Chain A
Amino acid sequence: MSPRDSAETRAAQVAAPAEAARVRKPLFRKYFIALFAAVVIPLLANGASEAWFGYRDHRALLDQRLKLESAAAASKIQDFLDGIRDQMQWAVQLPWTEGGDERHRFDALRVLRQVPAIVDLALVDGSGIERLKISRVGRDVIGSGTNRADDPAVAGARKSRVWHGPVRLNRGSEPYMTLAVAGNRAAVGVAIAEINLKLIWDVISAIRVGETGAAFVVDRNGRLVAHPNISLVLRGADEETTARLKALQTVTQAQGGGTITATNIEGRTVLPAMTPIAGADWMVFAEQPAAEAYAPIRAALWRTGILVLVGAMFAALLAFALARRMSGPIRVIESGAARIGAGQFDHRIRIATGDELERLAQRMNDMAKELAVSQERSERIGRLKRFLSPQVAELVESAGKEDLLGAQKADVVVVFCDLRGFTAFSAKAEPEEIMKLLAEYYEALGAIIMRYAATLTHFSGDGLMVLLNAPVPCPDDPAMRGVRMAEDMQAAVQALIAEWKKRGYGLGFGIGLAKGIATVGRIGYEGRHDYTAVGRVANLASRLCSAAEDKQILVDANLASAVTGTVALTQVGTRELKGFGESVAVSAVSAKAAAE
């Protein structure tokens, strides 16, 4: 399997979980909300303030208008009453003298003719005696002599010149009122008139407040005196009507300046205003249906509302589009980073927005490229570390000279070593024991090999083959290095053997070294390479190792001559080594040194 394939499968495995992870606060949503709010909030604020102020202004105007209307209505009604009163004055101008009755009757008739509202007119003289009563419908009564001095009308008129009686319903359905007028002196007496208030209706009905508003009149007892809807007046003191009127009156009186809305007699919501009529102690109401009064406000509110709505929709569209455009590239970068993180180093993030995001994507692509390179490098080093010491591996890699691993001839020092009695041991011992032992063995030897920057070319079971001066030349004398290394190895493993002996394992350790020209290079096939040395030197070292006994380090003549003088050597003589034909001169590193 190629590295590329492995990287891709890894990417696929990582990509799935990455997409499943939910973003806690999506960027798109944030942008959308921010943009939307940026447009809608000022819009709303403007609309709301406009609506509020418009509403207030309009209400103030309404208030003013209604007050004017009610005042105008009141003055019209006042005029009506005053007109009747003025006409009645004609009947109380002449004093009551003997024989003057006919003149008074004439005056009274003319007043009756002049004021259609008067149903009957009674004239009372200075002492309160009724002298005549003429009626429009009933019979005229001349000289009845009834004493009306105690009549409240007479008393009232005498006191204040004009007296307005309460409104009562004639036959339960017609509004009548008594009006009494006194002359400028007692002798002229008092005129008392029964007035049919239906005549005011023409005045009231003609009053228009706005388009659908109207005026109406209520007396001191809260009873309707006049109303554009005559039925309401004629119906008389109906419970529901009275209750509504009272409520309306209280509410309007409590007004104190601002406009209020209330329910009128017919149950609709209106804006009322009130003006009193002093003499008769009536209240004139002008009311405008709330629907009509607020229609302009409502229209303006609708307009504002629709504008805000349209603005909001537009803002939503805009925010949506912009947020998409902003968060889109980020999503691309995000998924690209996930892929690269998963190992897809050849993935390139494509963004062409022309802004910092594009630059970011560019940097990420560069990073991916670097990662790809470094991954390859570490793979290569990994491969090398299989047999090269880390330092050598680094060296080879950083030098970039892979051709160092190429086939060549080199003057190398080959070191072979293995355990004595291992085969017997491995036949007897349990697998766990064998592995544990081997682990300790390799740990010890591996540390030493790394320390000496040697190349471990091969190991199998308990035997190792180590190379010095290839692929990278030793910084110092390879022969010396080899010997020192072998000594260290002996020392370490002997310590281990002592331990093993305690466990009951009887093992030994022997090392063989040889120096000479060998062919070095990589052997193997695609994906599985090893670096090795081939040649006489290698074979010699191997044979020497086999010949070595426990604690022995055997070296060949070449190596011996290289280290004579520095290392204590013992001539061992010649040995018959398989494959080498003639006897080979073998030396051993001195036991003293080896035992240390």
Chain B
Amino acid sequence: MIVELGHFALWLALAATLVQATVPLWGALRDHPGAMQVADTAATVQFLATASAFAALTYAFVVSDFSVLLVALNSHSMKPMLYKVTGVWANHEGSMLLWVLMLALFGALIALFGRAVPAAMRATILSVQAMIGVGFYLFILMTSNPFTRIADRVPLDGQGMNPLLQDPGVAFHPPLLYLGYVGFSTAFSFAVAALILGRVDPAWARWIRPWVLVAWSGLTAGIALGSWWAYYELGWGGFWFWDPVENASFMPWLVGTALLHSAIVVEKRASLMKWTILLAILTFSLSLIGTFLVRSGILTSVHAFATDPERGIFILLLLCIAIGGALTLFAWRASAVRDGGIFAVWSRETGLLANNVLLATATGVVFVGTLYPLALELVTGDKISVGAPYFNRSFLPIFGIAMFVAGIGPFLSWKRARKADVLGRAARVLAVALLVTAALALLLGLADPVGLFGIAIAAWLALATLEDLGRRIGLPTAAPGTALRRLTGLPRAAWGLYIGHLGLAVAAAGVIAISVWSIEEIRLVEPGAELKVGPYDFALLDVENTTGPNYQTSIAAVRVTRDGDLVTMLFPERRWYPVERQPTTEAGIRTLWHGDLYAVLGDPDGTGRFVVRYYYNPGVPWMWLGAAMIAASALISLTDRRLRIGAPSARRRASAALQPGE
């Protein structure tokens, strides 16, 4: 019964969304306040209905109602409760329901917190948001209904869930990723609404950035979590594979980063308006394309797509309407939006423009590399591979330049910067960065030229960021007390900048370190044997067989010493999940400040010996720390006074200010 109510709630959500997509827009165009007000109510109803549908599906998973097809296919009564709940979105139908739940949530949030945005603009934004929603509700109800019952012969138990997904890291990867993907829908709706109404008002400029910050932070955390999971769960220390599925989430992140920065220019200087609108459309378009690439199965094989095309065609159609429609609207109406704000060639505006050009280029490279084999096969029938070597050669140089620019950007002041000052500071910081790199190379005996070049860029970005922070609080001339007071008085947006850029430098250093300087040993050993991995000695002490809640496992005890002193014990596992008939590896990992000690237990050879894989992975903790700093930086910026939700100054200015587009 509850499942049927959930199904009904989803239809109700569709009905509310249809109203929301049409009536408020009509009201905004005809200046009819009553019709505009429908938007807020409809958005709230849509959210409540979708949340009910999601709750109903969650209930079916929690009580293991195997008469529901989705539960029977993806769950099992013996599964731990956490994974029964996360199992809701660990499949196609449930994840699409999560997708629309997020969409409805963002709509409701705009209705709730968007009071500072003029009524016509808000109504239009919510209408556009609902148009996206209509497409996805129809997609779920017509091709991917999660509430389908099994008509006869209800199974006694479910088929279980891929044990690789029964892990806290990957359990919360999809919600965060979708927070990002779907969060960008708000920027899209803002952009399309501005095009429909043909104007951009100050409240619009102020309001697009917070939504982008939320979405971008979620996407950052989601990607990092997925990468972290791959690192510890897949058992060979890899964290990024340039896989099409990963690229699908990386493209919106890259172009979203550009959007995040151009939105600053819009907010502060009323420049780059058109470009920001285009970026907002592109960012969400790439989120949609990412969903399409993953959901349609087109990546697995062009032929798999052709044999079961229903879902793929539906999303493709949706994609064409949303992206094509928005871009057409842009081409037709963008001239109505006027850019303001004068600035010199040497200015913060130009720096952010350079950031945008480089990030857009990087996005383009990933896009072409990901879709090229697909396009070539469709056109010529020939198959080629575009793998990590291509991306490393094409993407990394562009991103390296972007990181260099990120160091110089904060040196530039708005409108007009003093060129000689900027170049002088840059030269001094660069000299220090090169010295630091040289010292590291000598001290640690590092020789790899590409690796050292990368370290130099990371050091440059970190030092340039710290130099700017120091200068901003008056160092070295100001008294320590004054400097400290200025430090605590810095606006949150400034903290966002410094922590974000510093996080990027830290993460980059970590990525370079593990990619270039990790040490690996693979051997067939008997218990008691010691192996040398760089400065560390790994000894396999013994292997014990035992059972977990829904699996059997072999746990090895590995002792790690350095110069005879105990560093740590590692306990890598090899698990067997009988329901899913699938093995997994659980790496034994010890995190030190400079890197990870990583041990994996492999197969026994039948004579009492085991294959073991030992690694020293330098830089890994830096990678995660950097990613956490980047994700946190957006949230810190979000709490800045100027952006604070419902800040009275925003409301007053919104009503008092002129509207630049008119």
* B and A form one assembly: no
